[in-house]
Amino acid sequence: MVHALKPTTDLANRIARIYPTLSNGHRRIAAHVMGSPLESATASIEVLAERSGASNATVTRFVRALGYASYAEFRGALSAALRLAMQPVDEFAEALASTQSAYGTFLAAMKTQRTNLEDAISGLDENTVTRIVAAVLAARRIFIIASGASHHVASMLEDGLALYCEAEVVFATARGGPERAFRHLNAAGAGDVAIAISVPRYSRATVELAAHSRAKGATLVALTDGPTSPLAPISDLALFGPARNPLLPNSPTAIFALADALITAVARERPEAVDALKKLSQSLLWTFQH
């Protein structure tokens, strides 16, 4: 089986950053490494050069262009990247091989989510929460950035904040792909808030769009799983919700809870919005099932 290197590893990100400046020879090496990382991780420099149609000297220059001091250091980074990329698959295989019943698996998953929620609560900082709520309430526009498992969290956050905020709320990545999202975020600036949501495996597009919105002057708020997330160092403010799951690559349960809590805290500060919603509910009384 061929395991392609995932674009969320450090090595893959290094290759992506310098790819536009690479020579044709270096690009052939990059393509081989990205497409066949398991084979490349165990290959000598001579073998990698032969299989990518390059010379030993070209491989050495490629490794140095990535920022590694030696081929051995590069190969170690490749092995680490491969372990990271395959970790969810290995955990899934281990879980399937266990003798645990369906009920036992179900119960273990529920307990894991309880732990995720407890860890998210224990990690809260009052000053950070207060600043995030204040920024959202004062925002001219709110841009939400998310994809994959985080897309559904973003959709809920969009609907909730739109009810209680005066700001225009834009789910920038809801449709149309990263290119359209970049066009949305080109309008971002001082006075705007961008909320980026991502859990392992992290979306490169989300990270890049988040960095772009911050560069445009927006305050960047991250909802992610922990301080090691690539969103953490580029954000102005962050809330962390672990995304552990005994079988799946991630779980957005704690991130959903953080988004729900943010909506609740914002609603608490907007009593006039609540009054408006009461009037709306009364006008729609006979359209409800219960």
Helical packing angle, 102-122 and 253-268, nearest 10° = 40
In 3D space, the residue among 285, 141, 280 whose CA is nearest the CA of residue 217 turns out to be 141
Q: With contact defined as beta carbons under 8 Å apart, do 178 and 209 qualify?
A: yes
| Domain assignment of residue 45, yes or no | yes
Q: Is 221 helix (H, G, I), strand (E, B) or coil?
A: strand
Same domain, 121 and 83: no
- What CATH number should be reported for the domain holding residue 74? 1.10.10.10
Same domain, 141 and 29: no
Is 0.75 topped by the overall pTM? Answer: no
Q: With contact defined as beta carbons under 8 Å apart, do 105 and 246 qualify?
A: yes
- What CATH number should be reported for the domain holding residue 255? 3.40.50.10490
Count of domains forming the chain: 2
Q: Which helix (H) or strand (E) holds 263?
A: helix 253-268
pLDDT in tens, the chain (290 residues): 334 454 456 777 788 778 888 899 999 998 888 888 888 888 999 999 999 999 999 999 999 999 999 999 999 888 887 776 665 555 555 555 565 788 888 888 899 899 999 999 988 999 999 999 999 999 999 999 999 889 999 999 999 999 899 899 999 998 777 788 998 899 999 999 999 999 988 888 999 999 999 999 999 999 999 888 889 999 999 999 999 887 787 899 999 999 999 999 999 898 776 666 666 566 655 555 55
Same domain, 17 and 141: no
Same domain, 24 and 150: no
Q: 182: domain range?
A: 116-281
Same domain, 66 and 125: no
